[in-house]
Amino acid sequence: MIIKNVKVYTEEKVFQEGEIWIGDGRFVEQTENRLSADEEVIDGQGCYAIPGLIDIHFHGCKGFDICDGTRESLMEIAKYEASVGVTGICPATMTLPVEELTHILSVAAAYKNTAEDKNTIAADLLGINMEGPFISEEKKGAQDHRNIISCDGELCRQFLKSSQGLVKFIGIAPERNKNALQLIRELKQCVNFSLAHTNADYDTAMAAFAAGANHAVHLYNAMPAFTHRAPGVVGAVSDSPCVNAELICDGVHIHPSVVRATFKMIGKERIILISDSMRATGMPDGRYQLGGLEVGVAGNRAVLVSNGALAGSVTNLMDCMKIAVKKMGIPLEIAVACATMNPAKALGEFENYGSIAPGKKADMVLLDQDLERKMVFKNGVLVSPNN
């Protein structure tokens, strides 16, 4: 397959006029030796050609959630995400009882191991992001406080074993867990530790990062405010060059001015756009469940019915990226990297995902000049809206 007349997004984070060659589900070098008489040629009509997006933090969509703990839910989530141009996923678990989490992880591992056998075009399951249960009561947000526990090495190893290594991030509130620094040092070679739903001050967060934690879950949300005398987790992230930070750019969670300021403060190399979307994404307004709690959805806003706290988003990552560009002033070239290359690198999957380069999976999205989605390709196959 050859896709002509497109603006190709390169690993140098610029767009170049050109064409894209695909063979056996992967991007291939452009060479006349590969050209055959029956080669399919598609006119890209001047669209932007970007890699398939990768969402490393979301919970579900279309009425399904990873915490349902079923293969059907994972399949339906993966199908929807591929249809909107998110071709790699790392869904997030909630703060649930340990037994439930262990089951969810086991189901995800089994799904991952048999994913190649499915006939449906769907996003690849690249990992799991454990947002709970090692969080703080003060910054629990939409997590169920009844299931919050202290972290320990044995339990973390159990989670990693149940997921067969699929868990890529484990969130902790270091101020709440006295063994947090020791745990991070012991297991940092096995999994990424993130600061999540934490009330840590600057010094505590810096100690966690010095121990080897390298990630911050949805920066600004479910953590202390960033102020001039108490910079908290945000200030610690800024001062820690090896730490990545998630940003929710749905237009609800963070003010556009703060998003722009964050890019200036932290830099485009360390920011990862996420959706934090829940099962109501792609669904009508109404009442839904998130981590066992009731959520009310109206428009683009999801809140806990009990207290009005934000409860994730209902905006998929592709739309979040568009909002970052069109409403928040983030250049397209930067926003694309933060939704493709950066998450692929954070997952350790950049060899196969995250850019349009020979040898990588042919996951790609064509966007018109208004950033409207025109075509999605998964493994070189055109994804229809109903896949």
Phi/psi of residue 234, nearest 5 degrees: -60, -45
Beta bridge partners of 293: 290
Phi/psi of residue 262, nearest 5 degrees: -65, -40
* Catalytic residue chosen out of the listed positions 276, 285, 363, 370: 276
End-to-end alpha carbon distance in the chain: 20
Instruction: Give the C-alpha separation, 37 to 151, whole Å.
Output: 60
Catalytic residue at 276? yes
Say how many C-beta atoms besides its own lie within 10 A of residue 90's C-beta.
26
Q: Which of 253, 246, 201, 257 is nearest to 226 (CA)?
A: 201
Contact 120/387 with Cβ under 8 angstroms? yes
Instruction: Give the C-alpha separation, 387 to 365, whole Å.
Output: 15
- Show the tokens assigned to 380: 């070189």
Phi/psi of residue 274, nearest 5 degrees: -130, 165
Phi/psi of residue 3, nearest 5 degrees: -110, 110
Instruction: Look at residue 356 and give its three-state secondary structure.
Output: coil
* Amino acid (1-letter code) at residue 263: F
- Residues noted as catalytic: 276
